Structure 1
Amino acid sequence: MAHSASNTVGVDNTHRRKWNREEYLERARERELQEEEGHFKQKAKAPPVQRKPLKHRDYEVDLDSRLGKTQVVTPVAPLSQQAGYYCDVCECIVKDSANFLDHINGKKHQRALGMSMRVERASLQQVQERFESLKKRKIGGSFTEQDLDARILKQQQEEEERKRERRERKKEKKKEKAAEDEPEEDADIAAMMGFGGFRSSKKS
């Protein structure tokens, strides 16, 4: 039995291909070097993009010029004439004002404008110049501290007036409701007690 098992046909390992480990290690090293060189070349070709720091808008965002207007929308119309808010920088349309503001303040839009999301740090000289320009505006009369205080005070007074009016309206509504409910209740109570009403008993 053992003799027959030793005579079974098996796999012939004598003709297996022999791999030269050193040769393939050398090839792997060469390939890695070539990849590194190609990577460095690509980096050298594309210098890092220098973007300008963020700056404030010098225009007013138009959100309400098309409010309340009727517009016929067709699928073949260009994007700028479709419903929603059109961004001409990114050439896309945004469906509502909140998302439009998010878009124009977002990274993609700012990059398209050539700006990074970093804010430039103001120098001492820039701050002093800004103060000087504000002082000139103050002296010119277009902007004064008293005007600002007066506007804040006026807004507070208007808000208080609105609150007072709301309170008065609520009180009036409560009084009206109570006045409407009272006669019915009185009539019901009088009927239960056997009174026909509170009329005078004097005869004319």
Structure 2
Amino acid sequence: MASSNTTTGVDNTFRKKFDEEEFKERAREREKKESDRSKSRSKGPPVQRAPLKHRDYHVDLESRLGKTQVVTPVAPLSQQAGYFCRVCDCVVKDSANYLDHINGKKHQRALGMSMRVERSSLEQVQERFEVLKKRKTPGTFTEQDLDERIRKQQEEEEELKRQRREKKKEKKKGKVMEEEPEMDPEVAEMMGFGGFGSSKKS
């Protein structure tokens, strides 16, 4: 038997050969497409949003409180149960979530505002202080006024307590009168009730 010195090797012909030039060309094409996309996005001017402002209207949370309303699934959003936001065209189920919604980023963006607050200048702050001082002057009150108001409130509370006590006493008297109606003395004597504790035996 003859032995062969030839060794069997591993067949690597099934492995994929990578062409560096082909992948470099693909990378260049991808970079070109991305740069074209970013240029097309930045053609228009960037959107400038106004800074947050103080709300100049009253948020109505109580107008429909305690009212009954028939709700159908086919009704428009504005007539469904909850609080309807006209800006975002959505319904929020309770007042706390409605306040969160109108103070939130989505609603403010729909109004055209960013979530940043405008930085006030020194002059604006001074003007605001002056406005608040003028608003306060007609109705200013001192500690004496405050003490007077507290005293009046305490007096009113005492008066209310006294009135409640009197009403309770009147109710009790009324109940006692209903429970123990006065009997005719003759009828009481005929029934044998005449001598309870009223006369002494001799």
User: TM-score higher than 0.5 here?
Assistant: yes
Offset at 1:111?
0.9
Residue-pair matches, total = 166
- SS for the counterpart of 2:127 is helix
Relative to 1, partners in 2 of residues 1:31 and 1:96: Cα closer, same or farther, differing over 3 Å? same
Relative to 1, partners in 2 of residues 1:159 and 1:112: Cα closer, same or farther, differing over 3 Å? farther
Question: What residue is the counterpart of 1:70 in the other structure?
Answer: 68
- The CA distance in 1 between the partners of 2:131 and 2:41, in whole Å, is 45
Match of 1:87 among 80, 85, 96: 85
Offset at 1:131?
2.1
**Could you tell which deviates more after superposition, 146-155 or 27-36?**
146-155
- State the AA in 2 paired with 1:113: L
Q: After superposition, what is the alpha-carbon deviation per residue over 1:30-82, rounded to whole angstroms, capped at 9, x for unaligned?
A: 22431342243134225432111111111101011111111111111100001
- SS for the counterpart of 1:146 is coil
Q: After superposition, what is the alpha-carbon deviation per residue over 1:82-119, rounded to whole angstroms, capped at 9, x for unaligned?
A: 11110111110011111111111111111111111111
- The CA distance in 2 between the partners of 1:153 and 1:36, in whole Å, is 75
Offset at 1:126?
0.8
Specify every segment of 5 or more residues in structure 1 that has no aligned partner in the other structure, as ranges.
170-199
- The CA distance in 1 between the partners of 2:143 and 2:113, in whole Å, is 34
Question: What residue is the counterpart of 1:114 in the other structure?
Answer: 112
- SS for the counterpart of 1:31 is helix
- The CA distance in 2 between the partners of 1:152 and 1:24, in whole Å, is 90
**Could you tell which deviates more after superposition, 65-74 or 144-153?**
144-153
- SS for the counterpart of 2:73 is coil
Q: Which runs of 4+ in 1 moved over 4 A?
A: 1-4, 15-19, 147-162
- The CA distance in 2 between the partners of 1:20 and 1:83, in whole Å, is 65
Question: What residue is the counterpart of 1:146 in the other structure?
Answer: 141
Identify, as 1 or 2, the structure richer in helix: 1
- SS for the counterpart of 1:110 is helix
Report matched runs for 1:1-204 at 5 Å: 13=13, 19-21=18-20, 23-139=21-137, 141=138, 144-146=139-141, 150=145, 154=149, 204=201
- SS for the counterpart of 2:24 is helix
**Could you tell which deviates more after superposition, 54-63 or 130-139?**
130-139
Relative to 1, partners in 2 of residues 1:37 and 1:151: Cα closer, same or farther, differing over 3 Å? farther
Q: Which structure: larger Rg? A: 2
Structure 1 vs Structure 2: percent identity of aligned residues? 59
TM-score using structure 2 length: 0.63
Relative to 1, partners in 2 of residues 1:136 and 1:17: Cα closer, same or farther, differing over 3 Å? closer
Relative to 1, partners in 2 of residues 1:132 and 1:148: Cα closer, same or farther, differing over 3 Å? farther
- The CA distance in 2 between the partners of 1:148 and 1:110, in whole Å, is 42
Relative to 1, partners in 2 of residues 1:11 and 1:119: Cα closer, same or farther, differing over 3 Å? same
Question: What residue is the counterpart of 2:169 in the other structure?
Answer: none
